[in-house]
Chain A
Amino acid sequence: MAASRIYRGALRCYPASFRRRYGDDLVAAFEELCADRGVRVAWWRTVLDLIVTVPAYRLESIMSEHRATLTLSAVTVTLALAGVATLAVGAWPISVVLIAVALVILVSQRSALARSLRPGGPNRRRRHLLVGAVVAVAVFACLVAAYLSDIGDERVGNGALMVYNVVGLLSLLSAVVLTVVGLRTHDQTSPATPG
């Protein structure tokens, strides 16, 4: 059947592990859908399915597979080293952005690893919000340190000041919002309040 051959080809868009585990089942379900509802309806539903699930499963695979974890670690170390190198030559705004991106990747990667090793607790959302607030405060602190070091330096242009202002404002706002929302999220380990 031509339709199922095309669908089997389209399955190559999914991560290899998902394809190996469910490839035949996916094709079988698609063929049953074609037989039951007609090829046009089956394709309509399946194309939408591909559009939604391929990016999601790819991202999931990047965040969980060992090989991808090594790649992400390499990217994080490279960004951090580039940040330190640019710091050494005095390009503060670029180094702050590079280190901030490395920090965000590192925290996301560690969180994904921790999630895969530990069953989620009742306070998962609260914990994530507060960790996000700590990261935002760290980014803000880096920016303030960089700004104080650069202030008065004539070589620092308006573009760099704009980066300081925008990233600083965003990180400060994020820190405040994440802290407030995190603290307002119900602590499920504490006894429930009546009413």
Chain B
Amino acid sequence: MSSPSVESHLPLSQAQFHVLAALAEGELHGYAIMQLVEEGSGGVVRMGPATLYGTLKRLVDAGLAEESDRRPVDDDQRRRYYRLTGLGQRVCMAEADRLEALVRRTRRNLRPGMA
């Protein structure tokens, strides 16, 4: 059962869910998120830079993601890294559960014998 503050963020837009799912893999910079989103969607979702940073802005403003202070020593120090907040993790999980239930129900309805 999700808390009301988690519920109020649902449903996430496709871009928001993809970015949160990418950040679930760890702290990432912008371009790495773009790459992971493309890989994770099998090449179907290809974000441009402004879509990515617009989405990140919304997630940061909503408290679902935050800038991280840590970055690899050998990396460009101007690069900004992002990570999920505790609320972001709960919202991402709740959205995954919601989509999973929807997928299960759709499969059951379309292929009744194979549920």
Contacts and interface: CB of A to CB of B under 8 A. Distances in A.
B57 A18 contact: yes
B50 A53 contact: yes
Interface in B66-83: 76, 78-80
A30 B30 CA distance: 10
B54 A122 contact: no
B31 A45 contact: no
Contacts of B35: 36
B50 A57 contact: yes
Contacts of B53: 18, 22, 25-26, 29
A122 B7 contact: yes
B50 A45 contact: no
Question: What's the dominant secondary structure at chain B's contact region?
Answer: helix
Contacts of A46: 48-49
A22 B104 CA distance: 39
B5 interface: yes
Contact of B8 (A21, A33, A52, A121): A121
Contact of A28 (B9, B54, B57, B78): B78
Interface residues of A, number: 29
Contacts of B46: 45
A48 interface: yes
B51 A29 contact: no
B4 interface: yes
Given A22-B53, A33-B31, A121-B8, A53 B48 contact: yes
B39 to A, nearest CB: 13
Contacts of A14: 50
5 contacts: A22-B53, A28-B78, A29-B30, A30-B49, A120-B8
Given A14-B50, A28-B31, A29-B49, 11 more contacts: A18-B54, A25-B49, A25-B80, A28-B76, A30-B49, A32-B31, A46-B48, A49-B47, A52-B48, A119-B8, A122-B8
